[in-house]
Amino acid sequence: MEQQFSSLNSVMEPETIPKNGASSKSLMSRNFFKQTFFALLNVLAGTFMLFAFTVCVGGNSGSGGKSAKIKMTLEKDKLWFELGGSGTATVDWGDGSEKVTRTLNSNPRFEHSYTSSTIRTILINGDNITGLDCFDYQLTGLGVSKNTELKRLVVAQNQLTSLDVSKNTVLECLVVFRNQLTSLDVSKNTELTRLECGDNQLTSLDVSKNTALKLLTCRGNQFISLDVSKNTALTELDYDYNKVKLIK
């Protein structure tokens, strides 16, 4: 180690400058380190600018969707859905086409056709989006956790295998029949008055916290038991085609 430092010092140590000016060796050494230093600064600056550009573009592009109120994954050549609410919504169709923005007070219908049936990610952003209706399409994924204003969610006859509604605590209507759900947690959705989750692959359903429920349809699942003893507001119940022991 001492030998290495000694060698480094011998390179950096300037020659004795004669009276008639600096030696050529000293000037070459200084120029070399100056050029190296500025070249390194340029490389670092370029790297930083590339990183900043990537973060900005990645954060705002349709591919990530981390800030989207609603995120859909689709594998079909067309899609339509309706949104409701009191604000506006902007839809990014995920194929580079122009985004669509509409007001929601008239429950507008959004439609789009794709050139092929490849996997697409649709991002929806906006204010006060309280309703989403999308059925008879091949949605394979749906994220609504960031849309906490949602009161009505209808995604029937799709291909969903999971759905997280734990953050949608003001949800009043949830219709998810004819999907491929193996579980459904509605314990945080205490405002639910309507729940339709029939024709899935659910092995259990806990509605003990959903005391406001008036309509419950859960036919065509794989229940062993269903406890509705705390659902005193329930007026419509359909649990056919299960091997259910009903607890009232």
Give the integer Cα–Cα distance in Å for 18 and 198.
96
Domain with 230 in it: what CATH number?
3.80.10.10
Helix (H) or strand (E) segment spanning residue 82: strand 78-85
Domain containing 39: what range? 2-60
Mean pLDDT of 78-106: 95
Residues 44 and 100 in one domain: no
Residue of 18 and 31 predicted with greater confidence: 31
Q: pLDDT, tens digit, for every residue of 167-207?
A: 999 999 999 999 999 999 999 999 999 999 999 999 999 99
Q: How many domains does the chain have?
A: 2
Q: Which residue has the tokens 């999971």?
A: 162
Give the integer Cα–Cα distance in Å for 105 and 78.
24
Residues 130 and 47 in one domain: no
Residues 7 and 110 in one domain: no
Residues 180 and 121 in one domain: yes
Whether the model pTM is above 0.95 = no
Q: Is 151 exposed, middle or buried (0-12, 13-18, 19+ CB in 10 A)?
A: middle
For residue 87, give both structure tokens: 């604000």
Contacts of 14 (CB under 8 A, 6+ apart): 22, 23, 26, 29, 30
Residues 150 and 77 in one domain: yes
Give the integer Cα–Cα distance in Å for 61 and 150.
24
Residues 97 and 140 in one domain: yes
Binning pLDDT at 50, 70 and 90, where does residue 227 land?
very high
Structure confidence at residue 10 (pLDDT): 41
The 10 Å Cβ neighbour count of residue 231 is 19
Residues 35 and 88 in one domain: no
Residues 78 and 170 in one domain: yes
